[in-house]
Structure 1
Amino acid sequence: MDELDRNIIGLLGADARMSVATLARRLKVARSTIQARLERLETNGVIVGYTLKLGETAREGRLRTSVLLTIEPRAQGAILTRLKAIHEVERVFTTSGRFDFLLQIACPNTQVLDQVLDQIGAMTGVKSSESLIHLSTKIDRAV
């Protein structure tokens, strides 16, 4: 990836609906150059899809939580399978340090969050968990 590729990704990260013509105009390159770069970025798996990013208004009805899990050795596969079945679990990351997983969870209210946390805590292989409820977003640069 070069500077042009990073600029294309940056502009699309801010507005995934931006047209190829607008990208070309903003980056001062030919439309065909942008089209070829996009095709290459997609083929190489750098860009795997185009999406939208919800604003705070759309997220108001969702209680967002990060959950840090410590699991037993060799339990990762079984736990991941069970976590995939829980709709409220949006993302699961492996981590370094004293926790094995970082989960991002979104629930409509505290009652559902409590049920989800109980369900996760009861899984065979989960040794401990720590929950952090998100209060407000101060910086969000995620693409």
Structure 2
Amino acid sequence: MAVDELDTLILRLLIEQPRTSVREYARILGVARGTLQARLDRLERTGVITGTGPALSPAALGHPVLAFVHIEVTQGHLDEVGDALAAVPEIIEAFSITGGGDLLTRVAARDNAHLEDVIQQLIRLPGVVRTRTEVALRERVAHRLLPLVESVGREAAGRAARKP
């Protein structure tokens, strides 16, 4: 989906001021409320905006240990293992990957013993051959999208400026 300069400004506001009303966003941007709402609807419909819920901290929820668990799966069992991962509450995300392993999961645990219990649960899943775990020591770059949004906006502005 093509994101233009106004979309970029809207996305920046959503990231920086998530609790602001649509009316206030429109005022800040100097556009009609209906224009802003139409843009928001399009950004949601096309999958650019995927949610509006709060960002939560696993650490603040009592799960400060973050680990990345690579899972190797028996050929032909990727879908069933992927489905089984959804039943493990400590798995925050899971992706099919290339390279060393078939799945990469992000796991939150209360402590190292709890992490070991989660890994043992994963190893027992039918179709799992082996796992490899990497424990995160410190977050160096927090999850962020604003730099990407701004880059996309600059590219859109550059394309618009080059059009005759």
Q: 1:66 maps to what in 2? A: 68
Whether the 8 Å CA contact 2:62–2:110 is kept in 1: the answer is no
Q: With the length of structure 2 as denominator, give the TM-score of the two structures.
A: 0.74
Quote the Cα distance in structure 1 between the aligned partners of 2:115 and 2:60.
19
What SS does the corresponding residue of 1:91 show, helix, strand or coil? strand
Q: 1 CA distance for matches of 2:61 and 2:139?
A: 11
Q: 2:41 aligns with which of 32, 35, 39?
A: 39
Aligned match of 1:93:
95
Residue deviations 1:55-92, cap 9 Å, x none?
69736642111111121211111111221111111110
Q: Which runs of 5+ in 1 are unaligned?
A: none
Structure number with greater CO (CA < 8 Å, separation at least 6) is: 2
RMSD of aligned alpha carbons: 2.3
Task: Give ranges in structure 2 of 5+ residues lacking alignment.
Answer: 146-164
Aligned AA (1:131): T
Q: TM-score under structure 1 normalisation?
A: 0.84
Runs of 4+ in 1 over 6 A off after TM superposition: none
Which residue of structure 2 aligns with residue 50 of structure 1?
52
Alignment-derived partner of residue 119 in structure 2:
117
> 1:125 Cα shift?
1.9
SS in 2 for 1:58: coil
Mark the structure with the bigger radius of gyration.
2
